[in-house]
Amino acid sequence: MTGAPGGRPGWRAFAGFVRKEGYHILRDWQTLLVLLGLPLLQVLLFGFAIRSDVRQVPLAFVEPVPDAATAAVRARFAAATGTFRVVGVVRRPEALDGAFRSGAVRVAVVLPEGLARRLGRGEAAPVQLLVDGADPNTGGIMEAYARAVLERHAAELRAPAPGRVPALVPVPRMRFNPTLASVNLFVPGLIAFVLTIVSALMTAVTIAREKETGTMELLLASPLRPWQVVAGKVAPYLGLGFANVLLVLTAARLVFGVPVRGSLVLLLALSLLYTLTALAMGIVISSRAATQRTAMLAALAGLMLPTLLLSGFIFPLEAMPLPLRAVSNLIPARWFILIVRGIMLKGAGVAELWQEMLVLVALTGVLLTVGVRRLAVRLG
């Protein structure tokens, strides 16, 4: 459909229109640089920065009377460098109030008086963990880590017991991401987040701008049909969005070493589909927005937080209450993240991902139909 003579009337004009829109984007190199560079920069920056693992937790000991046994516990935590950073030893828990409130101490291990004596007598000596639970996520993880250190110590204290003590030894294995590298977890989510917002924002604002400045009327006076006007506006951005996909995936592979265990062709094809999904969201927004301000508020203020929080990017969907999980089904990024993680980390193919793919196709179809139709009606 490159405007071959003899085609349906309108196709030539359409091709010309697409070309004109393409020139528009290419000519404003400053904006083009922003559109191509920004997603890449974001994925690089945040890919390096965000971690959900808990490290360097400031930890203090409460020891009324230090002895050999408490020193052994302290040595345990001192050896767990990386996870914990021992910041102090106090006599009474009250001494930690200020430090806890300011966040200077987040976990305290309260050891009982005469620990060595009690252990010698064969007692089970109470050890209490005080955990800053203001942030329940980190709180839970910090507690689990500190408990693990103490339990390991406790197990060693028990070990030299005579006789056969049956022991079940749990051997955990982290599948698909053995080192739990945060990069592998976040980069797919980042790709989805950045692609969604950039693509939706681009389309919404471009169309709203034509409406605001009144040039949309001029386009309508041309022989192009309303849907052709919309398609022509969006087509160059599909190319731009796909260029973003290529840049960002290359960075994920080369810079972060995120594996692509599945089919690269499938990944690219579905990324192209998702770019279209995000552009369709932009069309829907612009069909309602009369000004760039409204379009921008809807695209940024309306989409950023839901895409971040309801897509499984940061918080697992399984842990959400049922109504919210239902809402999350409508967030396209949710499905795209599953697809990207599936293909890149798990080597999944069509056999495993067909449901996600179908949902994405359906969502795109609905968004495109609603957006284009409403826009066409408004314009017509």
Q: Which stretch binds other proteins (CB under 8 A): 14-22, 121-129, 253-261, 364-372?
A: 121-129
Of positions 13, 141, 243, 255, contacts other proteins by CB under 8 A: 141
Residue 140 C-beta: closest distance to other proteins, Å: 6
Q: How far is CA 112 from the centre of its chain?
A: 43
Of positions 17, 100, 335, 336, contacts other proteins by CB under 8 A: 100
Select 224 or 348, whichever has its Cβ closest to other proteins: 348
Tokens of 255: 């810079």
Is 34 among the residues that bind other proteins (CB under 8 A)?
yes
Q: Which stretch binds other proteins (CB under 8 A): 192-200, 221-229, 233-241, 262-270?
A: 192-200
Quote the CA–CA distance of 232 and 333 in Å, as a whole number: 25
| Residue 264 CB contacts under 8 Å (≥ 6 apart), including other chains | none
Touching other proteins, residues 197-256 (CB under 8 A): 197-198, 201, 205-206, 209
Q: Which stretch binds other proteins (CB under 8 A): 5-13, 16-24, 318-326, 360-368?
A: 318-326
Residue 300 C-beta: closest distance to other proteins, Å: 6
| Residue 328 CB contacts under 8 Å (≥ 6 apart), including other chains | 310, 311, 312, 317, 320, 334
Interface map 37-76 toward other proteins (x if CB under 8 A) = -x--xx--xx-xxxxxxxxxxx--------------x---
Number of residues that bind other proteins (CB under 8 A): 127
Residue 316 C-beta: closest distance to other proteins, Å: 5
Sign of the torsion formed by the C-alpha atoms of 83, 87, 88 and 93? negative
Tokens of 154: 């406790």
Of positions 310, 363, 375, 379, contacts other proteins by CB under 8 A: 310
Q: If we measure between CA atoms, which residue out of 198, 174, 236 comes closest to residue 28?
A: 236
Residue 341 C-beta: closest distance to other proteins, Å: 5
Q: Quick check: 188 and 344 in contact, CB under 8 A?
A: yes
Quote the CA–CA distance of 340 and 333 in Å, as a whole number: 10
Select 10 or 152, whichever has its Cβ closest to other proteins: 152
Quote the CA–CA distance of 25 and 326 in Å, as a whole number: 38
Residue 96 C-beta: closest distance to other proteins, Å: 10
Residue 264 C-beta: closest distance to other proteins, Å: 19
Residue 74 C-beta: closest distance to other proteins, Å: 13
Of positions 15, 89, 125, 272, contacts other proteins by CB under 8 A: 125
Strand 57-62 to 84-90 pairing: parallel
The residue count of the chain comes to 380
Select 1 or 377, whichever has its Cβ closest to other proteins: 377
Of positions 31, 215, 222, 329, contacts other proteins by CB under 8 A: 31
Of positions 297, 357, 361, 376, contacts other proteins by CB under 8 A: 297
Is 380 among the residues that bind other proteins (CB under 8 A)?
no
Q: If we measure between CA atoms, which residue out of 267, 276, 277 comes closest to residue 246?
A: 267
Q: If we measure between CA atoms, which residue out of 107, 125, 108 comes closest to residue 67?
A: 125
Is 315 among the residues that bind other proteins (CB under 8 A)?
yes
CA dist list (Å): 298 to 233, 238, 287: 19, 20, 12
Of positions 99, 252, 284, 348, contacts other proteins by CB under 8 A: 348
Touching other proteins, residues 152-181 (CB under 8 A): 153-154, 157-158, 160-178, 180
Torsion, CA 69, CA 74, CA 80, CA 82, rounded to 10: 180
Burial zone of 45 (CB within 10 Å; 0-12 exposed, 13-18 middle, 19+ buried): exposed
Of positions 5, 136, 214, 380, contacts other proteins by CB under 8 A: 136
Tokens of 357: 């793919």
Q: Quick check: 193 and 296 in contact, CB under 8 A?
A: no
Interface map 321-340 toward other proteins (x if CB under 8 A) = x-xx--x----------x--
Quote the CA–CA distance of 157 and 153 in Å, as a whole number: 6
Touching other proteins, residues 74-93 (CB under 8 A): none
